[in-house]
Chains A and B, each alone.
Chain A
Amino acid sequence: MLESAKKHLRIYQKFFLMYFKTILVYKTDFLLGVVNQVFSFVSSLALIALIFTQIDYINGWSFYELVIVYGIGRMVIYGFHLFCFNIVFLGEAYIINGKLDRLFLRPLNILFQVFASRVNFHNLSDILASTIMVLYASYQIQVSVITLPNILYLLMAIPSAIMVVAAVILVFATMGFWIGPTKSLVNLFWKFRRFGRFPYGIYSLPLRVFFVTAMPIMFVSFFPASFILNRPEWVEYQALTLFIGPLLFLLAYRFWLYGLSKYSSTGS
């Protein structure tokens, strides 16, 4: 068991390094990605800025505070894209096109192979830019945001949030075993992200419940941000953020294993 884990870790390291080298090869792609990210970044910030030309606070949240919410959300999403990009393609590329079979033939965990087979270093620039944005916005706020407890919290909350996203996408991908291409569902999930950029409090109760359970995007940006911005109203959720990632991912993984066993018994 331990030997196997060590082996997987070693192999992941090798993959990681190898994909890092590929950035140097695909320079144009990398730059194009950066350009696209810059515009996406700028246009979202522009939107928040435009909204704040109308008022100074939404539901008690200021411009820079919402920038921090946005920034943390971006760090999580692009962190997800960095490590877990391939599970977005699980439906089409693997299950439908039969690439999945190949993974059975290697002496490694199947889902692990999907993760490891793509490390999207393109997204490093985005994560960096988002971090700078959060730092800058924190500096603009009078209350000190960059404190040791906050940093420690984020170091746990962000990976957990990444796992939340991975869990949701994995569930959608696994559904592909039964209902075919689920790319549109995944795209729909990305659309829900936008809701997480605005204060939890503006939404009606049913929506709030929805965004904490079925589509747990509030854990992706809002709750972690609310912790470092000293908002005690959501303290239970802030604590939950630390555990919900691993928990949801474990459940999603179970579902994935079930899907795999069905694949083996009924074929594609």
Chain B
Amino acid sequence: MNLRKYFGFSRVSFRESAVYRVDVLTSLISSGLFLVLYYFVWSAIASAGELNSSLGEIMIYFVIGQVVTNTVFVNVEKFVGERIRRGTIVNELKRPIGLFSQAYFDQLGSIVFNFVSKSLPIALLGFYIVDFALPSLYNLIIFSLSLFLGFNLVFLFSFSTSMLIFWTKVEWSVRGTRNHIQKILSGTLFPLFLLPDYLKPFFNLLPFQAMVDGPIRIFMGLGLEQSVMVLLNQIVWCLIFLVVSRLSWRKAKNKLTVQGG
């Protein structure tokens, strides 16, 4: 297993991301706007006086949420869709390094870049403005692990849905739909700890909370036992979607070889 070959993909994608500097600016501005908006909305909500939590806690949740999503939310649809559109997808079948691995290491390069250029600045700025307590060192370590697992989960999920592109031919609808579902169910748009009891089971049974909400809670000071539960939850979902992604890739490969491009 020549790992250097694989990490070559990561290096390329890292460098590619580094070229699009305007993209970094717009991501940061976008996250900033998001936080500003939610500050006002939740201030208005909090002023009614019926909230179970403090405005501060909610804002910290959102800030860490932005830190997490900027790293963890990847778009495999673009990677796969481009190759399908250009027709080069057929070449991928001949290569020694499969599409799956290529996509994985490519995304890995992007998230490293995103973490450094987007998540860290947001975290630092957020820390300065919203004033939250730094988590303990061990929480930070487990958080990092959880972040990495979250990326893996999003990647596997996104790869699985990307297989649909072999049938839909265009990637924007798959990506758009997936993003809408992810954003609302993962805790990006609404703090899951505020959910009324009748909704909690529904959200908890889905993989999305493991993508964003889990890591956020760890960062915000979850105890050891519960942190481990979060990690296990993420690992279980990763395994499930590992199977799903392999099966769907096989199905897509069949379609490719049987029906052509």
A interface with B by C-beta (< 8 Å) = 28-29, 32-33, 35-36, 39-40, 42-43, 46-47, 50-51, 53-59, 184, 187-188, 191-192, 194-195, 198-199, 201-204, 207
Chain A residues in 8 Å Cβ range of B169: 28
Q: Is the CB of B180 within 8 A of A43?
A: yes
Chain B residues in 8 Å Cβ range of A56: 48
13 intermolecular pairs with C-beta atoms under 8 Å apart = A42-B180, A43-B189, A47-B190, A50-B195, A51-B45, A53-B199, A55-B50, A184-B26, A191-B30, A194-B34, A194-B37, A201-B44, A203-B40
Among B128-136, B170-178, B212-220, B248-256, the stretch in contact with A = B170-178
Q: Is the CB of A188 within 8 A of B30?
A: yes
Q: Is B33 an interface residue (CB 8 A)?
A: yes
Q: Please, what's the 1-or-0 string for B147-172, where 1 marks a CB less than 8 Å from any CB in chain A?
A: 00000000000000000000011101
Q: Is the CB of B173 within 8 A of A33?
A: yes
The chain B residue sitting closest to A37, CB to CB, is B176
Chain A residues in 8 Å Cβ range of B172: 36
Chain A residues in 8 Å Cβ range of B183: 43
- Interface of chain A, helix or strand or loop or mixed? helix
Q: How far is the CB of B11 from chain A (nearest CB, A)?
A: 26
Given A43-B183, A187-B26, A191-B33, are A36 and B50 also a contact pair (CB < 8 Å)? no
Q: How many A-B residue pairs have CB under 8 A?
A: 87
Q: Is the CB of A32 within 8 A of B170?
A: yes
- Interface of chain B, helix or strand or loop or mixed? helix
The chain B residue sitting closest to A57, CB to CB, is B48
Q: Is the CB of A207 within 8 A of B40?
A: yes
In the complex the two chains form, what is the Cα distance from A141 to B194 in whole Å?
26
The chain A residue sitting closest to B30, CB to CB, is A191
Given A39-B180, A43-B181, A192-B33, are A53 and B40 also a contact pair (CB < 8 Å)? no
Q: Is the CB of B176 within 8 A of A39?
A: yes
Residues of B in contact, count (CB < 8 Å): 35
Chain B residues in 8 Å Cβ range of A207: 36, 40
* A35 partner, pick from B33, B173, B195, B196, beta carbons under 8 A: B173
Chain A residues in 8 Å Cβ range of B40: 198, 202-204, 207
Q: Is B205 an interface residue (CB 8 A)?
A: no
Q: Is the CB of B22 within 8 A of A54?
A: no
Q: Is the CB of B44 within 8 A of A58?
A: yes
In the complex the two chains form, what is the Cα distance from A201 to B34 in whole Å?
18
Chain B residues in 8 Å Cβ range of A204: 40
Q: Is B184 an interface residue (CB 8 A)?
A: yes
Q: Is B51 an interface residue (CB 8 A)?
A: yes
Q: Is the CB of B195 within 8 A of A53?
A: yes
Chain A residues in 8 Å Cβ range of B180: 36, 39-40, 42-43
In the complex the two chains form, what is the Cα distance from A188 to B26 in whole Å?
7
In the complex the two chains form, what is the Cα distance from A33 to B41 in whole Å?
30
Q: Is the CB of B23 within 8 A of A184?
A: yes
Q: Is B43 an interface residue (CB 8 A)?
A: yes
Chain B residues in 8 Å Cβ range of A47: 184, 189-190
